[in-house]
Structure 1
């Protein structure tokens, strides 16, 4: 609990309310440069804000360590109170401001899984340019570290990732795809474009592993288990779904990837989609956002825009 003894006697009227945003960014980022980027502030300005905060709280707040900065004990105790205060301030002030896509110059921040990036990035940026010509968006890959999911959610307007990642906060489905089996087009086990269950048992597989999925079983794993393939032979493990087709090309391995990805790279890599006895395995990408942004007009508008993009993508599904 943060008590009055931890706070300076500086009158509240003399405190710049913007320091609340600076304090929140510094506590979450633990890095002056990243905190400044988050608030669109230069590093000198961020350093000045930290100096004022240190004076106000009579505490260092951030101290240098071997790997960067660490929070002081007071900063750790302040963290939940600062988050609540910022949420209340945005609820009182920020959410009342209307968002006009035609005139706003907001820069959105969106993280996406690599697969979502290949499917959604182009139509999203195109539609954003058409409807909000002065706005921009920073798209970056999703950090697959499960321990960082909550922090990422705080930093981004939206995150697009498989629904089974179980992000905290709010979410809504965006797009659905079906997993298909990719093999070399001249694979010796192919019979009329199909693989038998015995083939899948005896073949070696390439798989993508995602630490952010944690203990949750993915839909493919559930389907494989139904057909006695839980102990399939895995030769190659990768950390990127997009690299699976490249790992399989020119080999006797197989892999399961979303159909849109398979269609894009099959001809280029000499691969083909093989029919299998497995049932249809659908995967769903979802938009995730922090509860603080539930009623933020700009983020509400961005979610609607992403929905329009998803409708277009789904219409292209075979």
Structure 2
């Protein structure tokens, strides 16, 4: 892709970045001080240059075409290099920005981060839009997804590419129905875990949780009777049955009373769960993304206090 030369000048590259990030002609024009007709003309010229729509309508809004998603990190990188060369760097002001972010999260990260994140945005960045979407399934083209998203928040061990920083930590606990006959003083033995039926993530979920891997290392051969494709349904699968499952501690606390569950003590240290934010290296110097990433990381303490 060329962003310089006779066909695409730097001003048009700026318009391209605004269009791909905002996914809205009006907002993109406001961001770079161009009228809507001028921005529409720029979009038409860019579509002709690339031979692609770049933006396509989805319902009431627009989404990026595959080429548009592929171009976005390269455009950002090119503009960042131009700013360095010219000795100029545009600051990001969350109070006035209308930046449009896309963040893919694991189902569990959504339960921890969504509420505090949306509250923080309403307070300090009322015009910023953040689309929350699920992480792509294991085995999919994760680098392509990372190129399209601003951030991907998921557990370490999922195979997410790019640069990363830890967002929050938790640990796995074993849950059973309250009053389960195998519970003795609230405890389960390794023999119990080997003889009981389990609910667990299926092949469409993560490639084994830290709890799954630790049980294998300890020689526990599980009888998996029920499989689900995400962590959130596991407490529901266990409620009112003789099953057991290993889920994050915060999730177990939230569901324990409503679903009539008990958290069983087990004879080994609790396996740790680490959720991290991942981003494309081309966006490492994007001040807006740095702000969002720092905001999300700051929220890990919010949920930890709420869960006590």
- TM-score, normalised to structure 1, is 0.75
**Preserved CA contact (<8 Å) 2:74 2:282:** no
- Residue 274 (structure 1) aligns with: 264
- Residue 285 (structure 1) aligns with: 275
Task: Give the secondary structure class of the aligned counterpart of 1:109.
Answer: strand
**Preserved CA contact (<8 Å) 1:223 1:279:** no
**Preserved CA contact (<8 Å) 2:104 2:152:** yes
- Residue 222 (structure 2) aligns with: 232
Q: CA deviation at 1:225?
A: 2.4
| Cα distance in 2 between the residues matched to 1:15 and 1:304 | 34
Change beyond 3 A, Cα 1:265–1:213: closer
Q: CA deviation at 1:136?
A: 2.3
- Residue 214 (structure 2) aligns with: 223
| Cα distance in 2 between the residues matched to 1:108 and 1:159 | 11
- Residue 122 (structure 1) aligns with: 115
Q: Which runs of 5+ in 2 are unaligned?
A: 27-39, 54-64
Change beyond 3 A, Cα 1:222–1:53: same
Q: CA deviation at 1:314?
A: 3.2
- Residue 169 (structure 1) aligns with: 162
| Cα distance in 2 between the residues matched to 1:166 and 1:18 | 37
From 288, 307, 314, give the equivalent of 2:304.
Answer: 314
From 33, 38, 49, give the equivalent of 1:53.
Answer: 49
Task: Give the secondary structure class of the aligned counterpart of 1:165.
Answer: coil
Change beyond 3 A, Cα 1:98–1:61: closer
Q: CA deviation at 1:84?
A: 4.8
Task: Give the secondary structure class of the aligned counterpart of 1:183.
Answer: strand
Higher helix proportion: 1
**Preserved CA contact (<8 Å) 1:171 1:289:** yes
Q: CA deviation at 1:222?
A: 3.0
| Cα distance in 1 between the residues matched to 2:15 and 2:201 | 39
2:152 counterpart of 1:155: no
Change beyond 3 A, Cα 1:213–1:265: closer
| Cα distance in 1 between the residues matched to 2:212 and 2:45 | 50
Select between 12-21 and 281-290 the one with higher mean Cα deviation: 12-21
RMSD: 3.4
From 238, 250, 254, give the equivalent of 2:244.
Answer: 254
Change beyond 3 A, Cα 1:253–1:49: farther
Q: CA deviation at 1:166?
A: 2.8
Q: CA deviation at 1:19?
A: 6.7
1:99-118 mapped onto 2 (5 Å cutoff): 99-118=92-111
| Cα distance in 2 between the residues matched to 1:46 and 1:236 | 54
| Cα distance in 2 between the residues matched to 1:117 and 1:159 | 11
Select between 148-157 and 241-250 the one with higher mean Cα deviation: 148-157
**Preserved CA contact (<8 Å) 2:14 2:79:** no
Q: CA deviation at 1:173?
A: 0.5
| Cα distance in 1 between the residues matched to 2:6 and 2:194 | 71
| Cα distance in 2 between the residues matched to 1:287 and 1:83 | 17
2:253 counterpart of 1:263: yes
Task: Give the secondary structure class of the aligned counterpart of 1:195.
Answer: coil
- Residue 203 (structure 1) aligns with: 196
Q: CA deviation at 1:168?
A: 1.3
State the Cα deviation string for residues 119-161 of structure 1 (Å, max 9, x = none): 1110111112212122221111112243221122112221110
Task: Give the secondary structure class of the aligned counterpart of 1:146.
Answer: coil
Change beyond 3 A, Cα 1:111–1:210: farther
